[in-house]
Amino acid sequence: MPLEKKITTYRGAQLKKEIYAFSRGACNEVTGSKHYIEFNNKIYEIDCGAFQGGKDPEKRNRESELIQPDAVILTHAHYDHSGLLPRLVKEGYTGKVYSTPATRDLTSVILMDSAKIQQHEKGDPAYEEKDCLEAMNHFSCFMYGKHKIIDDDLKVTFYNAGHILGSAMADLQFTKKKFLKKEEVHILYTGDIGRESNPLVNPPAIDMPAPKYIFLESTYGNKTHESMDKVYNELQYIINRTIERGGKVLIPSFAVERAQEIIYFIKNLMADGKIPKIPVYVDSPMAINATGVFSIHSECFNDKIKNDFMAKGKNPFSVRSLKTISNYKDSLALAKSKKPAIIISAQGMCEAGRIINHIKHGIENPDNTILLVGYMCEGTLGRKILDKEETVEIDGENFKLKAEVHKIDAFSAHADYKEIIDWLSKVDTSKLKKIFLVHGEKDAQANLSKVLTENGYANEIVKEDTKYKLA
């Protein structure tokens, strides 16, 4: 069926000006976020994310059907929320992409890096650098607490999600008109919701208007995180233990937010004399560029970081022994080196990027430590390492897992299920009819659904391509 005809099948239920929602990603999985609201014969898309992990994500990113919406609302820059924007534009999208300014700048870094990676992979890329540049021309930005009139019947307001720099919850205010009456319907998309204790950005907002429906992420719906206060002790122990053995600490990290957090913690540990002043390498052009974006968006920092940065002139990401690696040959030489060091490299789930070489050359050395600091999707190399599989396949070769493996959950930028319930308890839920769960694996969603029910919140787990009548 031609694309135009496929798209029109989603635009037929608006005769009574009812509001419908459906999703085409992040259903029983944590990547590929693409959610849609249908109202008054228009379609509004919340996030346009790429798939990661699982079965053949590259094929899904190239071939999965993209609906051409009337507007796109982007909650934050992460690849699983923004990664297919260039393909959307390539296929004809002419509308706006609404985001915060920091999200726009980080998205540019992430998309360009993705295009470069695809260029060097086998098979047809989903898009090229020129498509990324064109996608960035579609952005229209506004700050937290400000609203944007998207359409006659839709106003969008961003609220801080506390997840990464610039991340937002999107309050969609629809105006339903019936004869002489008007009804305001608030629908809240949380995007990825962060933690109260995020070391860099403010906690998730609680001051949004009372929503009638919430689309809530559920990544850690069956987990609880360690206290952020324990990070220093754990990180100190792991680094010192590894360096004493003469090994390397290999940290697969998302280039955006996570890399900057790790640098910030290492900076403080060195300043306090808790770890030796050994070389710290950031081997990720994207992380280097992202750190530059962080430096120009201090308005997103929490009060402590903002005070240190703005008032005292202290750069939170400046470490004396920090070295950045841009050249690929230098990266490969570092991977082969046996000298003790801390290496922060992308991609966070070990599916692409320079971290692959570091793991290939370091995984069979028992003196080394692979330190996992983020979520690992099912099917990814990072998940196999986390599960401590004896043998893992990398680039068609088998490697024995002999390096130590540690996981620090406290680094997570996602709220756990207890933190989600705590956040909900502070939000005005007086008009709330139902919570829809997205962005989580089955076990996580099942547990969070149970906990929500126990706490009096009606909820439903979203099924892909299923329409839900909201109002």
Domain co-membership, 76 together with 150? yes
The whole-angstrom separation of Cα 421 and Cα 211 is 16
| pLDDT for position 3 | 39
Domain co-membership, 461 together with 318? no
Band of residue 1 on the pLDDT scale cut at 50, 70, 90: very low
Secondary structure class of 106 (helix, strand, coil)? helix
Domain stops at, among 388, 411, 434: 411
Domain co-membership, 95 together with 12? yes
Domain co-membership, 209 together with 283? no
Phi, psi (5° rounding) for residue 69?
A: -85, 180
Domain stops at, among 411, 429, 452: 411
**Residue 300's domain spans which residues?**
228-411
| pLDDT for position 465 | 96
pTM (2 d.p.): 0.88
Output the domain CATH number for residue 68.
3.60.15.10
**For 243-281, what is the HEC assignment?**
HHCCCEEEEECCCCCHHHHHHHHHHHHHHCCCCCCCCEE
* Range with the poorest average pLDDT among 5-14, 243-252, 399-408, 424-433: 5-14
Tokens 């899904």 label which residue? 60
Output the domain CATH number for residue 265.
3.40.50.10890
Domain co-membership, 331 together with 432? no
Both tokens assigned to 260: 């900057």
Band of residue 317 on the pLDDT scale cut at 50, 70, 90: confident
| pLDDT for position 4 | 44
The whole-angstrom separation of Cα 145 and Cα 159 is 6
Domain co-membership, 279 together with 350? yes
Domain co-membership, 59 together with 170? yes
Phi, psi (5° rounding) for residue 92?
A: 120, 0
How far the first Cα of the chain sits from its last, in Å, is 31
Q: Is the pLDDT of residue 92 over 90?
A: yes
The whole-angstrom separation of Cα 22 and Cα 153 is 19
Domain co-membership, 280 together with 383? yes
Q: Look at 169 and 118; give whichever has higher pLDDT.
A: 169
The whole-angstrom separation of Cα 23 and Cα 33 is 8
Band of residue 11 on the pLDDT scale cut at 50, 70, 90: low
Domain co-membership, 232 together with 363? yes
Which one of 225-229, 316-320, 369-373 scores highest in mean pLDDT? 369-373
The whole-angstrom separation of Cα 373 and Cα 101 is 27
Domain stops at, among 364, 379, 411: 411
Q: How distant, in Å, are the alpha carbons of 50, 148, 189 from that of 451?
A: 29, 34, 20
Domain co-membership, 301 together with 349? yes
Nearest to 222 by CA among 416, 419, 457, 415: 416
- Give the mean pLDDT of the chain: 92
Both tokens assigned to 275: 């770890």
| Number of domains the chain is built from | 2
Domain co-membership, 136 together with 204? yes
**Per-residue pLDDT tens digits for 357-382:** 999 999 999 999 999 998 898 889 99
Determine the length of the chain.
471
Domain co-membership, 201 together with 94? yes
